[in-house]
Chain A
Amino acid sequence: MMLAMQRFFLAALLLAAAAVPGFAADPQVTVSIKDHQFVPADIPVPAGVKVELIVKNEQAVNAEFESTTLHREKIVQAGSQISIFVGPLSPGAYEFFDDFNQATRGRLVVK
């Protein structure tokens, strides 16, 4: 009985966490754009949970984070950072790029 209750509350808490963007429980991963490269270029991300991806543009030029598979498109001004919520995702690699310089590419590697 106690265990069932605990499980119920845990599940409810997880659901609430998943529904609210920016809730502290969402794991964060950070990627930087430096010299037209994503650092790191491959970002490991857990499967099945919502993740907050923080993109820092450490260049002097503006960038636009974009991913057609993730349906995300957001300008990251020079010297600033943005956050993007993705997921819950199923395992696999999800490519993203800088729309202002398409040679700049990286991947979310979901495991």
Chain B
Amino acid sequence: MLATAIIVFREVLEAALIVGIVMAASRGALRRGVWVGGGIAAGVLGAVGVAAGAGTIAAMAQGMGQELFDAAILFAAVLMLGWHNVWMARHGRDLASNATQLGHDVRSGAQPLWALAFAVGLAVLREGSETVLFLYGIALAGQGGAVAMAIGGAAGLALGVAAGVAIYWGLVSIPMRQLFTVTSWLVLLLAAGLASQGAAFLMQADLLPPLGSNVWDTSFLLSDQSLPGKILHTLIGYTAQPAGIQVVFYLATLVVIGVLMRTLGPGAPHRRPTPNTGNAVPGE
């Protein structure tokens, strides 16, 4: 029961932290609960589907289907988070200035929440499908009893969700003016970490060279398997023994999204004396 709780907790943790950050990053946006909730629900449904089809997925691409599928999900999530950040760089100032009517208009629907909802759905899908495969295997084998498994699973889920709620409350205690700066940084690091994970799967599928199998080893300081290591792994992409290609993807993601935020963002204020007038928002 305890083992079940721990494993479910570890799987849920990553998705829950992402949901917590996304909820903070969309603070004040209208119907964000519906969007994010919808993303979670779609992710759970998708996770069950993926778990059911795991054998088929694994057999695809000469046995490398799992790797390609995981990489595709991770890179799709990177795109969504990057898109959110670039949008926020353009409009974040209006969002934060909640005193103005204009700011209110922006908050009440212009923010492309679909990108965040998509990212949440993908995170839940990935971690959820592993959880389902783990629990379903135990249930099928009839080990430890169904009741113990259900209790353990529920406890693990509750703990994971609690971690997500905790990071959300921590973030929303930041004043609105600074909140979106903090969440933009968090989303940026999150995206870079996911890109590094995606690169690892492509390397595993032999589509990318390792460029040095272990660039450094800080496992004696902080193991990936420890709880703080696992949390940092999700939040900033910490890896105790990264391959070179992971470092390359991490840095490239930081640079690409960062440059897009700067070049497409507001930049000098005089460029847009009347903020957010007629800026076409793709996806509307």
Contacts and interface: CB of A to CB of B under 8 A. Distances in A.
Contact of A77 (B55, B201, B210, B239): B55
Contact of B204 (A60, A64, A68, A74): A74
Chain A interface secondary structure, helix, strand, loop or mixed? loop
B224 A62 contact: no
B280 interface: no
B213 A60 contact: no
A10 to B, nearest CB: 22
Contact of A62 (B137, B223, B246): B137
Contacts of B240: 68
B133 A77 contact: yes
Contact of A21 (B206, B224, B225, B241): B206
A87 to B, nearest CB: 9
A77 B58 contact: yes
B200 interface: yes
Given A21-B206, A62-B134, A71-B243, A77 B66 contact: no
A61 B54 contact: no
Contacts of A71: 200, 203-204, 210, 213, 241, 243, 246
Contacts of A7: none
Interface stretch (B35-43, B138-146, B174-182): B138-146
A109 interface: no
A30 B90 CA distance: 54
Which of A60, A64, A68, A69 is the most central at the interface, judged by chain B CB atoms within 10 Å of its CB?
A: A68
A82 B37 CA distance: 35
Contacts of B7: 99-100
Interface residues of A, number: 27
A85 B136 CA distance: 27
A111 interface: no
Contacts of A70: 213
A68 B225 contact: yes
A83 to B, nearest CB: 6
Contact of B62 (A22, A68, A89): A22
A68 B55 contact: no
A11 B97 CA distance: 66
Interface of B: 3, 7, 54-55, 58, 62-64, 66-67, 130, 133-134, 136-138, 140-141, 143, 200-201, 203-204, 206, 210, 213-214, 219, 223-225, 239-241, 243, 246
Given A68-B241, A71-B213, A80-B55, 18 more contacts: A21-B206, A22-B62, A59-B141, A61-B141, A61-B143, A68-B219, A68-B223, A68-B225, A68-B240, A71-B203, A71-B241, A77-B55, A77-B137, A78-B137, A82-B58, A99-B7, A100-B134, A100-B137
22 contacts: A21-B62, A22-B63, A59-B141, A61-B137, A68-B224, A68-B240, A71-B200, A71-B213, A72-B204, A73-B201, A75-B58, A77-B55, A77-B137, A80-B55, A80-B58, A82-B66, A84-B204, A85-B204, A85-B206, A99-B7, A100-B137, A102-B225
